Amino acid sequence: MTIDRVVSPAHRAIEVLGDEPTESTLKLYLEGIPGVDGVGLEQRAAALGTRSIKTTSKAWALDRIIGLIDLTTLEGADTPGKVRSLVAKAVLPDPADPTTPQVAAVCVYGDMVPFAVEALGAAHTTGSGDGIQVAAVATAFPSGRASLRVKLADTADAVAAGADEIDMVIDRGAFLSGRYGQVFDEIVAVKEACRRPDGSSAHLKVILETGELSTYDNVRRASWLAILAGGDFIKTSTGKVAPAATLPVTLSMLEVVRDWHRLTGERIGVKPAGGIRSSKDAIKYLVTVAETVGEEWLRPELFRFGASSLLNDVLLQRQKLHSGHYSGADYVTID
């Protein structure tokens, strides 16, 4: 079965569920998904974290990480000046080396979107997808505790201001209470709010906040639910709750994306966010992606790192490599 991306989330869900996506049909489907072997999952993640890539790929890996980063500032003290500084770093991460790739996107609060768009100027993404995207967190990020009306207004405002991507949070309380239909309907509604007057849409990343979901089974169910509802990406965390991204959780989400692709032919993106600070850790994620869903996912349209400090370490390792002072001990063994 191949499901066309242009069909509505409801129609896509019907093809998978075999019926209308209601509270009962979603509950039956999601709770019928086989449980996760947590020990096995953690063992696979640990094994993938020790896999090696060729020495000649060091430079490629570092550059690829940079090109997959959503450079982020999500603080109450954010100012237009701080956003402009973030954009300057996104456009030219290493001023001493103009060959350094640009990051994939900058991620800010909705009210900071106009400043990010203005600061990017010609570096902002074009219709062809080139350039740097502007992502905005929405739907009462990070708690998600607001009415649907407020969440939709939050989303629509960010899109109208020029956001290319919306990072929404699911209602974890509703999900953990088994109100899957409510979560589904909210995601569908937010996706509709991502639509622009010209008929195009901002891409929707659905944040599961895996640190609050507690179990791998819940992570798997929430991943399926977000995809069934039309999410373009599934994202681990807001970065405000511990634990944030972990390799086993990300592996679990990648396995859902792999299974969805096998079922429908549709490719969904994955974004681990929060807590990934070193090149060593980021390379473990690259290997996990390549081994689970394939190297074709290692592009900004399908994989991102949500990070604020990761870029600094990658630039340091890149400088060491180019100067000949790099030591493989600085991060995962590559040989």
- Structural domains present in the chain: 9-48+65-323 (3.20.20.70)
Active site residue 217: no
Active site residue 151: no
Tell me the DSSP string of 257-273: HHHHHHHHS---EEE-B
pLDDT at residue number 11 = 78
Q: Which of 58, 151, 191, 235 is catalytic?
A: 235
pLDDT at residue number 240 = 95
pLDDT at residue number 308 = 87
Residue 177 CA from chain centroid, whole number: 25
- CB pairs under 8 A, 24+ apart, for 308-312? 308/71, 308/72, 308/73, 308/239, 309/277, 310/65, 310/69, 310/276, 310/277, 310/278, 310/279, 310/282, 311/66, 311/69, 311/71, 311/89, 311/93, 311/103
pLDDT at residue number 130 = 78
Which residues is 262 bridged to in the sheet?
none
Structure tokens at 85: 């500084």
Q: Which of 70, 94, 164, 167 is catalytic?
A: 167
CA distance 121 to 239: 28
pLDDT at residue number 325 = 63
Residue 239: left (phi > 0), alpha (psi -120 to 50), or beta?
A: left
56 close to 294: Cβ distance less than 8 angstroms: no
161 backbone dihedrals φ, ψ, rounded to 5°: -80, -10
pLDDT at residue number 48 = 92
pLDDT at residue number 114 = 98
pLDDT at residue number 1 = 37
The alpha helices in 194-246, defined as continuous H runs, are 210-213, 216-228
104 backbone dihedrals φ, ψ, rounded to 5°: -75, -40
pLDDT at residue number 332 = 43
CA distance 40 to 51: 17
pLDDT at residue number 323 = 83
Q: Which of 94, 271, 281, 313 is catalytic?
A: 271
Which regions in the chain score pLDDT beneath 50? Answer: 1-5, 328-335
Active site residue 235: yes
pTM of the model: 0.93
